Amino acid sequence: MISLKELGFDEWFKTHSNALRQEGHDIARVSAVDRGSYLVKNELREIPAELAGKFYFRVESSIDLPCVGDWVTVQYHNDDTEAIIHGVFPRKTFLRRKCAGENVDFQMIAANIDIAFIVQSCHFDFNMKRLDRYLVMAADGHVKPIVILTKTDLISPGELEQKLAAIKQASAVSRVFALSNMTGSGFDEFQQLLITGKTYCLLGSSGVGKTTLINRLTGQNTFNTKAVSGTGEGTHATTRRQLIFLDKGSMLIDTPGMRELGLLGDGVDQGFEDIFELSEKCRYANCGHTQETDCAVLAAVTNGELSEERYSSYMKLKKESAYHEMSYADKRKKDRAFGRFIKSAKKHMKD
C-alpha cells in the first residue's frame, strides 16, 4: 500500500481538499489519459475512470478537463474497480501548449510536475530554437526545467562540449546533463536527480530516446521502442501520456513527441529571464525592442552581451505568443457570449 503523500499529495493540495471533497468521494491521481479515457491511481491500485456527467457539462474549456498528473475527487463503484471523476484540484504547476493546427486553444500536457526534463539528442534533433520553446512552456507553467542531452555516443567529446557550452550560453537554464542510453554514460548521475515523492516529466521530439531512458530507469523493457530511422534517429514510440511509478518512489510522466509546439501564454519573458532583466533598463516601459531610443536589449545585442540568435528567437516567440493570446481572448469572448445565449434560451423555454 502507498500513501497519497508518496503519490505527491502534499500540504499545498491538502489546503484545497476540504472545499472540493464531498461525502462519499475519495482522492486519486490521474495516471494516464488516452483519447478521453482515464486511469487513476489511489493508495491501493490503478483503475479506469470516466467523467461524471454533471462535471463534464459544466466544463467551459478543454483545459478544465483532467490531464495526467492531476489530483481529482472520485467515487468508486463495481467493488472499487472503476471510478467516476467529479472534480479536479487546482494545479500547482502545469505544462500546456497551443492546440495543433488552426484551433487557438490550450492543450494540457501534464500537471503538478516538480521538474521537466527537456530531452534533445546530440545528433539530428539538436535545435536551440526548439529548446527555447520548451523552456518557455516550462516557465509558463512554473515548472523547473533541466536539459538532458542524449545519444552522446554519436558525437565526439569535443562536439559534446560545444553543444553544452551553446546551451549554457544561449539559454537561462541552470542545469544540463549529458548521457548515452547505449553506453550508460551519465545515467547514474541522472538517476540521482530523482527524489521519492517527486514528479518529473519527459519532454522532447519523437526519437530522442525518452522511452529508452524510461526502460533503463525501470530496469526492463516495459515500454516499446522502435528501430532507428534512415537518418540514424529513433522513431516515435509513445502514444499516450502516462504517469510511471519508479522503484525508488519517484514518478515520471512520459509524453508523445510533439511535432508542433505553438505557444499560448505569458511564459516568454520568464523563459528569457536575461532579456526580461535587460528590458527593465529600457527607457520606455512598453519598449518593443525594435528601434526605440535607449533600448537596453538592442544595446546588449550591439555590444555582444546578447547574441543576435537569442534576440531573434525571443522576438519571434514574443510576437507569436501575443498573436495567439489575442486570438484566444477573442475566442473566449465568443464562447462566453454563446454560453449566455444558451442560458437565456433555456430560461425562455421554462417560462
- Mean pLDDT over 36-54 rounds to 93
Within this chain, do residues 181 and 241 fall inside the same structural domain, yes or no?
yes
Contact 119, 148 (CB under 8 A): yes
Report the domain count for the chain: 3
In a domain, 286, yes or no: yes
Residue pLDDT, tens place only, 47-89: 999 999 999 888 878 889 999 999 999 999 999 899 999 999 9
Q: Model pTM?
A: 0.75
pLDDT at 100: 57
Within this chain, do residues 225 and 171 fall inside the same structural domain, yes or no?
yes
- A 10 A CB-CB count for 42 gives 20
Residue pLDDT, tens place only, 225-275: 554 444 444 444 445 678 999 888 899 998 776 555 555 456 677 678 788
Residues contacting residue 301 through CB under 8 Å, at least 6 positions apart: 307, 308, 311
Measure CA 13 to chain center.
19
- Domain boundary among the residues 88, 119, 137 is at 88
In a domain, 2, yes or no: no
pLDDT at 146: 92
- Domain boundary among the residues 225, 254, 283 is at 254
φ, ψ of residue 78 to 5 degrees: the values are 50, 55
Distance CA 210, CA 203 (A): 8
In a domain, 343, yes or no: no
Residue pLDDT, tens place only, 1-25: 889 999 999 999 998 887 777 788 8
Within this chain, do residues 188 and 155 fall inside the same structural domain, yes or no?
yes
In a domain, 169, yes or no: yes
CATH code of the domain in which 245 resides: 3.40.50.300
% helix, strand, coil for the chain, step of 5: 35, 20, 45
pLDDT at 108: 87
Within this chain, do residues 77 and 101 fall inside the same structural domain, yes or no?
no
- Domain boundary among the residues 224, 254, 284 is at 254
Q: Which of 27-41, 78-92, 178-192, 217-231 has the lowest mean pLDDT?
A: 217-231
Query: Over pLDDT 90: what percentage of the chain?
Result: 35
Contact 282, 289 (CB under 8 A): yes
The parent domain of residue 294 ranges over 268-338
Within this chain, do residues 135 and 194 fall inside the same structural domain, yes or no?
yes
